[in-house]
Amino acid sequence: MSALIDNLLWYSIVSNFRQNCLSRIGEGVDSSIEAARRSLRAGQIVAFTGAGISAESRVPTFRGADGLWRNYSPESLATAEAFTSDPHLVWEWYDWLRGLIHAAQPNPGHLALTELQRRNPKGFTLVTQNIDGLHERAGSHDVVKLHGDIWRLRCTTCGREERNEQVPMDHLPPLCRCGGIQRPAIVWFGEMLPEAEWERAVEAARQANVLIAVGTSALVYPAAGLVKVARQSGALVVIVNPDPTPADDLAEWILRGPAGEILPRLL
Find the catalytic residue in 102, 110, 147, 171.
Answer: 147
Among 187, 205, 210, 213, binds ligand BJW (CB under 6 A): 187
Stretch that binds ligand BJW, among 9-17, 183-191, 197-205, 227-235 (CB under 6 A): 183-191
Closer to ligand BJW by Cβ: residue 183 or 231: 183
169 binds ligand BJW (CB under 6 A): no
For residues 50 and 168, what is the distance between their CA atoms, to the nearest angstrom? 25
Closest separation in Å from C-beta 113 to ligand BJW? 12
Pairing of strands 144-145, 148-155: unpaired
Q: What burial letters (b/e) apply to 48-74, b meaning 16+ CB within 10 Å?
A: bbbbbbbbbbebbbbeeeebeeeeeeb
Q: Scanning residues 63 to 92, which ones bind ligand BJW (CB under 6 A)?
A: 63-64, 74, 78
Among 117, 152, 215, 227, binds ligand BJW (CB under 6 A): 215
Determine the distance from the C-alpha atom of residue 259 to the mean position of all C-alpha atoms in its chain, rounded to a whole number: 12
Q: How many C-beta neighbours within 10 Å does residue 243 have?
A: 10
186: which strand partners?
Answer: 148
Structure letter (DSSP) for residue 168 = S
Q: How many C-beta neighbours within 10 Å does residue 197 have?
A: 18
| Max Cα-Cα span within the chain | 73
Angle, helix 29-39 to helix 2-26, in steps of 10 degrees: 120
Closest separation in Å from C-beta 34 to ligand BJW? 19
The CB-nearest residue to ligand BJW is 52
Closest separation in Å from C-beta 224 to ligand BJW? 7
Stretch that binds ligand BJW, among 26-34, 38-46, 55-63, 205-213 (CB under 6 A): 55-63
Among 220, 227, 229, 236, binds ligand BJW (CB under 6 A): 220
Among 50, 106, 133, 173, binds ligand BJW (CB under 6 A): 50
Q: Is 147 a catalytic residue?
A: yes
Q: 185: closest CA among 157, 209, 205, 156?
A: 156
Give residues in contact with ligand BJW (CB under 6 A): 50-52, 55-56, 61-64, 74, 78, 129, 131, 147, 186-192, 215-217, 219-222, 240-243, 245, 258-259
Residues carrying an active site annotation: 147
